[in-house]
């Protein structure tokens, strides 16, 4: 449901006279259209303003006097024959005159209320896009005089008031529907699917350097590359043996994804393995069709810009061109990202190096050596503790020293107060 259809139903929507389907369609449109929300608010303000107009009270005793005179006139009417009805008493004439005066007064107030409604309505329409009506009128006149039949503007430009052939609202809406049907039927190609493959593995190896070297060669042979890699030593032994740990992000062509997974599984011990495939074909071609639609709209806008005759028209079309171009660029970036992720699969690999199992008993240090090492470690631990304590005290001294001074002053005053109290 477009904006024009919703605006025609707003009055019935406010009066709660729509059926459930129409009401749901209007509410769904209002959630996404700020202009229609503003117009609904304007309608509500107008209704509230009219409801706040006080009722005109009749003069005191008017109803009673009118009732008595009507009864008197009815009694007199029954006493005369039909030909004498024209000879109405002066009182009835006065009643009619006052009734007409009262009716004319209400007509006057009703006219003022209608004028107020019209003012609010015109103001609301101006806020909802009618500022472009002047550009539409001037451009329609020039186009109508310059050619017998001009092409219809794109649907999104028609919403801004750029109707090129001076047709009525119904014809403009029909043209917009044809435009939408023409460019929304672009179907996705059937020759290529967009599947994003990702993998996450955690493996263990006994020779980290050799495993990474072989993995790098395999990635290059498959036509891929290592996007980022980090390695670190997480354990060192007394004989200078080291255990390595690393995280690697690898990109390989989609068709080689499972071949690389099989290589990792055959050359290491897999501890954790997660594989996912996401089909983004529909999303990709929907965005691609939208880009094509926007490019067609951009061409129409550029042709309109070349034909613009006033500065106001040029500024309006230029703003719309900028909006369309920005949307096209954003969609193209998204399409390139999908192409990249679908063409090159991503594998996150975590590698842990582990020691080979050795069941031979190693010679151990004697008791004296162990005792000496323990004593040295204890002394070093005590020294480090005092060093850390000294560093902490020095670092907090800007706060600690004033706090100690304040505490001493408080203690002295409390002690003095308690001493004076005992004397009393």
Give yes or no for a contact between 267 and 203, defined as CB atoms under 8 angstroms apart: no
What does the alpha-carbon distance between residue 314 and residue 303 come to, in Å, rounded to a whole number? 11
Q: Is the pLDDT of residue 137 over 70?
A: no
- As to burial, measured by CB atoms within 10 angstroms (0-12 exposed, 13-18 middle, 19+ buried), residue 22 is middle
More confident residue, 80 or 154: 80
Q: Among all chains, which residue has been given the structure tokens 């204890």?
A: 378
Q: CA separation (Å) from 65 to 61, 62, 69, 76, 404?
A: 6, 5, 6, 16, 95
Express each pLDDT in 261-285 by its tens digit. Answer: 999 999 999 999 999 999 999 999 9
Which has the closest alpha carbon to 254: 331, 334, 335, 193? 193
What does the alpha-carbon distance between residue 313 and residue 307 come to, in Å, rounded to a whole number? 9
More confident residue, 205 or 130: 205
- Strands of the sheet containing 225-236, edge to edge, are 225-236, 242-253, 344-353, 195-205, 269-279
Residue 353 DSSP label: E
**pLDDT for position 365:** 59
**pLDDT for position 94:** 55
What does the alpha-carbon distance between residue 347 and residue 363 come to, in Å, rounded to a whole number? 43
**pLDDT for position 135:** 41
**pLDDT for position 245:** 92
Give yes or no for a contact between 165 and 140, defined as CB atoms under 8 angstroms apart: yes
Q: Is the pLDDT of residue 19 over 70?
A: yes
Beta bridge partners of 231: 246
What does the alpha-carbon distance between residue 271 and residue 354 come to, in Å, rounded to a whole number? 13
Which has the closest alpha carbon to 74: 49, 92, 53? 92
Beta-sheet pairing, 225-236 with 195-205? unpaired
The two tokens of residue 265 are: 């599984």
Q: Which 3-state string (H, E, C) describes 398-423?
A: HHHHHHHHHHHHHHHHHHHHHHHHHH
What does the alpha-carbon distance between residue 285 and residue 187 come to, in Å, rounded to a whole number? 8
What does the alpha-carbon distance between residue 232 and residue 421 come to, in Å, rounded to a whole number? 70
Average pLDDT, the chain: 76
**pLDDT for position 112:** 61
The two tokens of residue 264 are: 């990792």
Mean pLDDT (whole number) for 134-163? 41
Residues of the chain above pLDDT 90, percent? 34
What does the alpha-carbon distance between residue 150 and residue 163 come to, in Å, rounded to a whole number? 10
Give yes or no for a contact between 294 and 330, defined as CB atoms under 8 angstroms apart: no
- Residue 13 belongs to what H/E stretch? helix 3-14
What does the alpha-carbon distance between residue 383 and residue 377 come to, in Å, rounded to a whole number? 10
What does the alpha-carbon distance between residue 133 and residue 143 come to, in Å, rounded to a whole number? 15
- Ranking 74-83, 202-211, 299-308, 384-393 by mean pLDDT, the lowest is 74-83
Q: Among all chains, which residue has been given the structure tokens 């202009």?
A: 35
């Amino acid at each position: 449901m477009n904006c024009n259809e919703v605006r025609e139903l707003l009055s019935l929507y406010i009066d709660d006279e729509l059926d459930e389907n129409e009401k749901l369609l209007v509410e769904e449109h209002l959630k996404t259209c700020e202009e229609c929300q503003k117009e609904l608010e304007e309608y509500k303000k107008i209704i509230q303003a009219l409801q706040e107009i006080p009722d005109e009270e009749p003069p005191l005793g008017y109803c009673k006097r009118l009732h008595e005179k009507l009864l008197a006139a009815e009694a007199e009417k029954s006493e005369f024959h039909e030909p004498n009805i024209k000879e109405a008493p002066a009182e009835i004439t006065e009643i009619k005159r006052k009734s007409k005066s009262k009716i004319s007064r209400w007509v006057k107030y009703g006219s003022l209320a209608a004028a107020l409604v019209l003012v609010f309505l015109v103001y609301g329409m101006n806020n909802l896009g009618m500022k472009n009506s002047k550009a539409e009128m001037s451009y329609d006149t020039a186009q109508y005089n310059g050619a017998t039949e001009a092409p219809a503007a794109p649907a999104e430009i028609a919403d801004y008031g750029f109707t090129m052939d001076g047709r009525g609202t119904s014809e403009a809406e029909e043209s917009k529907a044809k435009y939408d049907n023409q460019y929304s039927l672009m179907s996705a190609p059937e020759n290529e699917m967009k599947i994003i493959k990702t993998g996450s593995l955690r493996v263990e190896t006994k020779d980290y350097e050799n495993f990474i070297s072989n993995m790098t060669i395999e990635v290059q042979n498959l036509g891929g590359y290592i996007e980022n890699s980090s390695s670190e030593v997480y354990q060192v032994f007394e004989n200078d043996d080291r255990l390595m740990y690393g995280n690697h992000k690898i990109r390989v062509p989609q068709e080689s994804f499972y071949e690389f997974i099989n290589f990792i599984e055959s050359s290491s011990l897999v501890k954790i393995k997660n594989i996912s495939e996401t089909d983004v074909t529909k999303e990709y071609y929907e965005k691609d069709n939208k880009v094509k639609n926007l490019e067609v709209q951009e061409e129409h806008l550029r042709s309109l810009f070349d034909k613009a005759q006033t500065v106001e028209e040029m500024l309006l079309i230029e703003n719309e061109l900028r909006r369309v171009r920005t949307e096209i660029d954003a969609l193209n970036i998204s399409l390139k990202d999908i192409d990249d992720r679908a063409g090159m699969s991503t594998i996150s690999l975590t590698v842990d190096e582990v020691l080979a199992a050795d069941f031979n008993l190693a010679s151990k240090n004697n008791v004296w050596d162990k005792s000496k090492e323990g004593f040295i470690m204890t002394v070093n631990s005590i020294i480090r503790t005092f060093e850390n304590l000294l560093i902490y005290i020095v670092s907090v001294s800007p706060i600690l020293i004033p706090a100690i001074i304040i505490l001493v002053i408080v203690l002295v005053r409390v002690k003095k107060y308690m001493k004076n109290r005992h004397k009393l």
